[in-house]
Structure 1
Amino acid sequence: MASKRSSSSSGHSQNSKQPKRQVSVGTFKKWQLQQEKEHSTLSWLRCTEQDKFVDTLWCETCRTFEDKICGTKNFSAVWIKGSTNQKLSNVLDHAKSDQHKRSMSVMRIQHAKATKALLIEYAPIARSLLSGPMDQATKEKMGRKFDICYMLAKENLAFRKYSPIHQLERRHGVELGESYMTKDSARSFTKYIAMTQRNEFVNTIQSNLHFFSFLMDGTTDAGNVEDELIGIMGFCKNKAEVGSFVRFFSIQVPTKVNADGLIVCVKQALEPFGIDSVLEKADVLASRPILIGSCTDGASVNIGQRNGMRGKMQRALPWIFWGWCYAHRLELACKDSFTSGLFQGISDMLLRLYYLYSKSPKKLRELAEVVSDLRGVFEFPKSGDTPIRSEGSRWISHNARHCRGLLIAMVRTWLTLNL
């Protein structure tokens, strides 16, 4: 009986064991074809075969550009070494991941450099527009649609406004045609406008830029994630004239907020323009363009001589000039001069008023009853009756403006009461 019981239990355990999922090579090729239109799977989805079945799945672009995407948020080497999860959902999740999108972007940039083609040629709409001759009337219609999308981007309006504006223009008798009337088309047009402007900037930097410096400062987004904003000041020379420009350059997310992490951010910002090698050259005359300076705030991670970004970059580039942002220095000087006296007392009073009414619904209702009589005493936001916060991570001009407004309102009220 014992032997029968043991044999039956062992048989039950063997039947309960799930077999390993195996995908045939034919199914894998079907996945490549089915997802090609949306995710371009033919260019990156690969597998290792074993007895006509898939052993592991891996991504060719992520494996090729591993050194360029290793700093991406939520980076994982599973699809570089080979994933044993043989499910289509796993393939789609990887196709939508940040690291894969960045690897595909790097691949397109490399291909564009090799063929001297513009990135915009990868766009489906652009391919359709370039596939055949276009008459003058069609060009004018498409130009008007691009103008509308450019206005939406400049005015920071949502893409869903594109269709109502499109309909309004047609009601006014403007010829816009019957195609590309949705918000998705507006998103595509705006993307191509940005790509075109970026390509022009890239060509300017790669062909005419001789000397440049960068400005770098940290900020936080709505998710409280540390970002680095990078601006650039460059000096260009062509056959006709010598000119300079100052403009926004890039936004980078550092993996670590230390000197090495910030240097990686600068390198990643310069890489799409093909000038990231300027951080490694030890000879000032070795190449063009030449990095001659940088400007940051006074944080130790930026200006430290030994372990800061300044010290590490100056050891590689001895000629580089490092400037402490004058706006930050002036701000610190003003704050130090206002740490005592009447200004500090008024600032503390405004801060206490803010916390008093922002955290008490009852007091806020009472304040709403008084606001109608004392509307000129305090400055209120347009959205309600809560006093505006004058302290925190703000420039000194913000604090001074509210203190000045309160002083003027108090003087006017005192004069009125004493008449």
Structure 2
Amino acid sequence: MWRFIKGVEKPQSKRKAIDTSYFKEYDKSKRSRKFSEKWTETYSWLRDSASGMTCSICIDHDTTSKGSNSFINGCTSYKLDSIIKHEKSKCHQRSVLIQSGKSKPIEKTDAAHVIHSLNRENFNKLEKMFRNCHALVKNNRPLSDFTWLCDLDEMKGLDLGKTYRNKGYANTFIDCIAELEFKKVCEVIERANFLCIIGDGSTDSRIKEQEMWFVRTCVEGKIDVKLIGISALDKASAENIVKGLREILNQNIECEWEEIMARLVCLACDGASVMVGHRGGVSALLRKEQPAMITIHCMAHRLELCLKDACKSVHLFNKVLNTLIMGLFYFYHNSSLNRSTLMNTFEVLKGDDPKEKLLLPTKAGGTRWIGHHHRALTNIVTSYKYIVTHLSQLKETGERVSADSKSKATAYLRLLKSKEVVYFMLFVLDFLGPLRRLSLALQDQDGLISSKHAALASTLSALERLKER
């Protein structure tokens, strides 16, 4: 009111005047606050910087409150209370959640669980389709079988939906399965200190050269042999083979060539000159980059070559295998009439003995594996009386068969009734038994080198006993 009355001065304040001398003395003697290293023992995210205290979690993950969050730019209030307040703040807690979410594998995050629960039905349908594609690849079936496999699942009562059920998506599913499997191979390679690369060549249905590559490792006593890929070659030269190996290592395994070479100790392959040549072979090219590498000729393949060389000068061996066994195979394989009449002969002669069985002649050529020769000879010897009886019927003049079949039956019958051929077949069957077991032991990918030597010693002992018998 005093402002509106003339001649009245402003009344004095009843509050006592504040004595500022105390604050002046405090300013002179107050303590200087600074960062304490003990705080980091409780608050692991706390950092000290030239601009003040900072939060490592908020700096990395807080993208919404950088202007208002003093622990991003630097907090100069070196007080424990400020640290506690920041830890309880919403921006810090949000940053902690973001960090924990990013540190988990994608499939274990909350978002992945939410997506999985929302799409559980679709995932169940895709899982059945992936299993069908995996079965096709494992059993060497064409991709066109994928459609009717899905139809079969529908007939069984399984719900696969109406989408993705075609050849194109089957190829996509197989690519995804292969990518996941190659990641597993990469993990095995990363754990191994030493590697052995195994290579072999073949031709596909287009008569195009293919080179298959495997890697063999041993980690903590566990032996693994994994496929690393198949490279298609225009020409099977040593340079192209090495180039194809580099490409599949880069594409499928995503491993650096220098890293593989640093751990490579061995190349295992067949005895072809393009692989083991001392000057221009694949082993020679790899040895330029890894001088400590050794080359091992496949032991099972060496056994096959030894047998071939040993029997090369034996006239009866070629006569029995190439002429008689292969001839009988094609004689019954290419003619359904000959095959059916042989079965009828068996039904008449077998009697009531349930142990009697008919084994059709099989192919002994095509590969050099001893097991194929042993099986072909076993089938001929087991079904000897039925085959001889059937061929005797075909050569009779009253049988209505072609002149070609009749002349072949006469020739094969003459060989089967030859004393030296029968004796030689039984002789070959005797010594192929131990060699077959040795070949299978050498092909065992999980066996150790000590077991191979034991199998070799056992085979030599068995052959010595056959000699004495």
TM-score normalized with structure 2 length: 0.48
Matches of 2:198 and 2:258, distance apart in 1: 16
Residues 379, 402 of structure 1: 8 Å contact kept: no
Which amino acid letter does the alignment assign opposite residue 261 of structure 1?
Answer: N
Residue 198 of structure 1: how far off its partner (Å): 2.3
Q: State whether structure 2 residue 207 is matched by structure 1 residue 224.
A: yes
Instruction: Give 2:399's aligned residue.
Output: none
Matches of 2:375 and 2:309, distance apart in 1: 17
Which amino acid letter does the alignment assign opposite residue 199 of structure 1?
Answer: K
Counterparts of 1:168-207 in structure 2, within 5 Å, are 168-205=152-189, 207=190
Residue 165 of structure 1: how far off its partner (Å): 4.0
Counterparts of 1:40-189 in structure 2, within 5 Å, are 134-189=118-173
Instruction: Give 2:467's aligned residue.
Output: none
Residue 242 of structure 1: how far off its partner (Å): 6.5
Residue 321 of structure 1: how far off its partner (Å): 1.7
SS at match of 2:118: coil
Matches of 2:176 and 2:336, distance apart in 1: 50
Unaligned runs of 5+ in 2: 1-113, 350-356, 393-469
CA deviation string 1:39-82 (max 9, x = no partner): xxxxxxxxxxxxxxxxxxxxxxxxxxxxxxxxxxxxxxxxxxxx
Residues 200, 212 of structure 2: 8 Å contact kept: yes
Which amino acid letter does the alignment assign opposite residue 225 of structure 1?
Answer: K
Instruction: Give 1:263's aligned residue.
Output: 242
Decide which of 233, 239, 258 is 1:278's aligned counterpart: 258
Residue 154 of structure 1: how far off its partner (Å): 2.9
**Change beyond 3 A, Cα 1:346–1:275:** same
Counterparts of 1:13-28 in structure 2, within 5 Å, are none
Instruction: Give 1:254's aligned residue.
Output: 233
Residue 261 of structure 1: how far off its partner (Å): 2.3
Instruction: Give 2:270's aligned residue.
Output: 297
Instruction: Give 1:371's aligned residue.
Output: 342
Instruction: Give 1:122's aligned residue.
Output: none
Instruction: Give 1:396's aligned residue.
Output: 370
| Structure index of larger Rg | 2
Residues 297, 325 of structure 1: 8 Å contact kept: yes
Residue 173 of structure 1: how far off its partner (Å): 4.1
SS at match of 2:217: strand
Provide the aligned C-alpha RMSD in A: 4.2
Matches of 2:152 and 2:386, distance apart in 1: 49
Residue 341 of structure 1: how far off its partner (Å): 6.2
Matches of 1:404 and 1:203, distance apart in 2: 45
Matches of 1:366 and 1:144, distance apart in 2: 43
Q: State whether structure 2 residue 381 is matched by structure 1 residue 407.
A: yes
Which amino acid letter does the alignment assign opposite residue 216 of structure 2?
Answer: M
Relative to its length, the structure with more helix (as a share) is 2
Matches of 2:325 and 2:167, distance apart in 1: 43
How many residues align structurally?
A: 270
CA deviation string 1:2-56 (max 9, x = no partner): xxxxxxxxxxxxxxxxxxxxxxxxxxxxxxxxxxxxxxxxxxxxxxxxxxxxxxx
Matches of 1:342 and 1:378, distance apart in 2: 26
**Change beyond 3 A, Cα 1:366–1:202:** closer
Which amino acid letter does the alignment assign opposite residue 190 of structure 1?
Answer: I
SS at match of 1:336: helix
SS at match of 2:213: strand
Residue 214 of structure 1: how far off its partner (Å): 0.8
**Change beyond 3 A, Cα 1:155–1:260:** closer
**Change beyond 3 A, Cα 1:263–1:137:** closer
Which amino acid letter does the alignment assign opposite residue 174 of structure 1?
Answer: L
Percent sequence identity is: 22
SS at match of 1:210: coil
Which amino acid letter does the alignment assign opposite residue 324 of structure 1?
Answer: H
